[in-house]
Amino acid sequence: MSICLTDEVTNLSFGQQMAAIPGPSIIPHRVLEAMARPMTDLYNGPIVEASNEIRAALPEVAGTSGDVFIVTSNGHGAWQMATSNTLAKGDKVLVLESGQFAAVWGRYTAVSEVDVEVLPGTFRDPVDPVAVADRLAADTEKEIKAVLCVHVDTASSVRNDIPALRAAIDSADHPALFMVDCIASMGCEEFRMDEWGVDIAIAGCQKGLMVPPGIAFVWASKKALAAHAGADMRVGYFDWAERLSAKSQYHYYAGTPPLAHLFGFREALRIVEEEGGWPRVWERHTALATGVRAAVDAWAHPEGIEFNITDAAHRANCVTTIRTNSVDPELFRARCEQQAGLVLGLGIADVSGFRLAHMGHLNPPMLLGAIGTIEAVLHSLGAPVSGSGAAAAAAALGEAIGQ
């Protein structure tokens, strides 16, 4: 439900609106400009160069030497590419719940006659590796063919400990494929697919990767590719065999490549290169997230707002979910957007609150602008806060800048 405030309210929103929502994120002008060009030949010339540059750069994004597929779709399509290429009808998969998105992935997978079991979690904690180890150890017949989880859940804003979950799978000596949805986190959070023993990683382009929604990526380990041989849910468009054997780039994309998006993504990769590479990008996200956490810590009040994720070590570096106990979240978001030019993410699933994204193309003036605006609107509603989040965030970012 959205609220429309009346014309009589004070409206300070007439500058550049900022969308601090957890996807699509803020797109660099350079990326938009790179996309806004006449279409070229799709078989030769500039698009082949762009595509080759992207395909050469993609393994490093996820920390793998494995194969990567580019899908013209959103993240949901990449989910489907992952499961349809590796599972067979009647297979069992274990979905690790820690918010909303793993469970939705499970629901989409269940449509294809896969037996989906959800390992229940809470909305405020990461997946518990001990529970995963116990469940897999109990699967003595090895019926579970894949374990599905998210790196960062964009609803709860939890960051799961992927190496710890890998260790849990190994402790049960279980052969299931380990599939990780990194749609919110890729490009924002450190991710090392090979080192962490992940078989399939998935990302969309519209969050940390700084491109308008429309393409998605599936990285596959050798073990995932081997599972393809026994998969019987394959669909032509997503089929790995078809794409791997492609002699032309037309077939690699299963048809016309998404030219504008590829030109845009190449530009985003160049921006990352100028920043100094992915570890630098992750460091920037960590520093900015420290600012966000300092702000929410300062605001937190028993009758006001608070973090959704209780354990500070598991709060994501790309999005923060904030519960608004006594504050009406819809009125709050409406004021932010309509009176102050700041668009915040809805609280989804279980959460009465809102989400502040801090992913992708973001720096201190943008983030401090958002934090200061949140504080102003909280103030306008008479919401109780324990201290100034804006001041705390500025101090935290100042510390990061001084290092």
Ligand X SMILES: *Cc1c(COP(=O)(O)O)cnc(C)c1O
Q: Which is nearer to ligand X, 103 or 327 (CB)?
A: 103
Give CA–CA dist 83/218, Å, rounded.
Answer: 11
41 neighbors 47 (Cβ within 8 angstroms): yes
Q: Which is nearer to ligand X, 199 or 375 (CB)?
A: 199
Give CA–CA dist 287/223, Å, rounded.
Answer: 36
- The CB-of-198 to ligand X minimum distance in angstroms stands at 15
Q: Which is nearer to ligand X, 183 or 288 (CB)?
A: 183
Q: Which is nearer to ligand X, 74 or 339 (CB)?
A: 74
- The CB-of-76 to ligand X minimum distance in angstroms stands at 4
Give me the residues paired with residue 355 across strands. 321, 345
- Classify 6 as helix, strand or coil: coil
Q: Which is nearer to ligand X, 69 or 299 (CB)?
A: 69
Where do contacts with ligand X occur on this chain (CB under 6 A)? Answer: 23, 74-76, 101, 150, 153-154, 181, 183-184, 204, 213
Q: Which residue is nearest to ligand X (CB)?
A: 75
153 neighbors 75 (Cβ within 8 angstroms): no
- The CB-of-195 to ligand X minimum distance in angstroms stands at 21
- The CB-of-22 to ligand X minimum distance in angstroms stands at 6
Q: Which is nearer to ligand X, 121 or 369 (CB)?
A: 121
Give CA–CA dist 183/200, Å, rounded.
Answer: 12
**Residue 58, amino acid:** L
Q: How far is CA 53 from CA 49, 57, 270, 347, in A?
A: 6, 6, 10, 38
- The CB-of-380 to ligand X minimum distance in angstroms stands at 30
Q: Which is nearer to ligand X, 348 or 366 (CB)?
A: 348
- The CB-of-75 to ligand X minimum distance in angstroms stands at 3
Q: Which is nearer to ligand X, 217 or 307 (CB)?
A: 217
* The residue to which tokens 């978001």 are assigned: 333
123 neighbors 71 (Cβ within 8 angstroms): no
- The CB-of-359 to ligand X minimum distance in angstroms stands at 9
- The CB-of-209 to ligand X minimum distance in angstroms stands at 11
